[in-house]
């Protein structure tokens, strides 16, 4: 009998309040409310395209900046992924996805390695300063992916191969990450135990 790969976590600071539940073996259903609309859109896309059921309820000091709420929700998402993966027995471990969104094209490669590392490149100059939806700066794409990768113990490479519209760029990157993670977290019936020569991930 397969153990349920689920997690439920909370994080409370002076800057934000986060409640998050996930099921890695879901169908992509989500209920997202972070008070940062574009980030809601990105987390909804992540859930749908990674086939992860995800509930996020978050609030924070968005009157100052969206930064703290996005960062803290991403930290908790990473921690929940790590908790739900458990010892990682039987997983495929690696995933690779190339995702277009109109003129934008992004590639993501994921290794559920236990070694946090993010390589993120290719965004056009000035993207990091662009306000998407009036509230979400382009720099938060990298910051969110970095927080998730660090706290989930993932090695992640994200490359933007092309793109002009900031919304399309951000969404292509999140969707590529989601599709690559979907492959990596998948249970492979041919894998016996931990997919590493070290015997641990």
Per-residue confidence (pLDDT) for residue 135, from 0 to 100: 87
Q: What is the pLDDT of residue 134?
A: 84
Three-class SS state of 91 = strand
At 29-77, the pLDDT tens digits run 999 999 999 999 999 999 999 999 999 999 999 999 999 999 999 999 9
Give domain 6-185's CATH number out of 3.30.230.40, 3.40.1440.60, 3.40.225.10, 3.30.960.10. Answer: 3.30.230.40
3-state secondary structure of 79: helix
- In whole angstroms, what is the distance from residue 154 CA to residue 80 CA? 13
Rounded-to-10 torsion of CA 162, 174, 50, 187: 80
pLDDT at 130: 96
Measured CA to CA, the distance from residue 184 to residue 126 in angstroms comes to 32
Quote the tokens at residue 198.
């070290």
Residue pair 172/105 in contact (Cβ under 8 Å)? The answer is yes
pLDDT of 84 > 80? The answer is yes
| Exposure b/e, 76-107, CB count within 10 A at least 16 = b | bbbbbbbbbbeebebbbbebebebebeebbbb
CA 36 – CA 152 distance, rounded (Å):
22
Quick count: other Cβ atoms within 10 Å of Cβ 200?
Answer: 8
pLDDT at 2: 64
Q: Are 36 and 144 in contact (CB under 8 A)?
A: no
Domain boundaries, the chain: 6-185
**Predicted pLDDT at 3:** 84
Closest CA to 122 of 160, 71, 91: 160
Over the stretch 120-175, which tens digit does the pLDDT of each residue have?
Answer: 999 999 999 999 988 899 999 999 999 999 999 999 999 999 999 999 999 999 99
For the entire predicted model, the pTM comes to 0.97
pLDDT at 198 over 50: yes
Q: How far apart are CA 37 and CA 104, in angstroms?
A: 21
Mean pLDDT of 12-23: 97
pLDDT at 199: 87
**Residue 1 predicted with pLDDT over 60:** no
Asked if the model's pLDDT at residue 85 lies above 90, the reply is yes
- Lowest mean pLDDT, pick from 42-46, 181-185, 191-195: 191-195
């Amino acid at each position: 009998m397969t153990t349920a790969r689920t997690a439920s976590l909370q994080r409370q600071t002076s800057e934000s309040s986060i409640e998050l539940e996930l099921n890695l073996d879901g169908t992509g259903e989500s209920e997202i409310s972070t008070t940062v609309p574009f980030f809601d859109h990105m987390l909804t896309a992540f859930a749908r395209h990674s086939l992860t059921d995800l509930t996020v309820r978050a609030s924070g000091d968005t009157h100052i900046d969206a930064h703290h709420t996005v960062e803290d929700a991403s930290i908790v998402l990473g921690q929940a992924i790590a908790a739900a993966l458990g010892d990682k027995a039987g997983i495929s471990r690696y995933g690779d996805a190339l995702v277009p969104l109109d003129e934008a094209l992004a590639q993501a490669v994921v290794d559920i390695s236990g070694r946090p590392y993010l390589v993120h490149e290719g965004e056009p100059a000035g993207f990091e300063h662009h306000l998407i939806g009036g509230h979400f700066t382009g720099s938060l794409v990298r910051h969110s992916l970095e927080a998730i990768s660090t706290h989930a113990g993932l090695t992640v490479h994200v490359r933007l191969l092309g793109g002009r519209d900031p919304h399309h760029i951000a969404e292509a990157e999140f969707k590529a990450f989601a599709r690559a993670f979907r492959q990596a977290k998948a249970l492979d019936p041919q894998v016996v135990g931990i997919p590493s020569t070290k015997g641990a991930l």
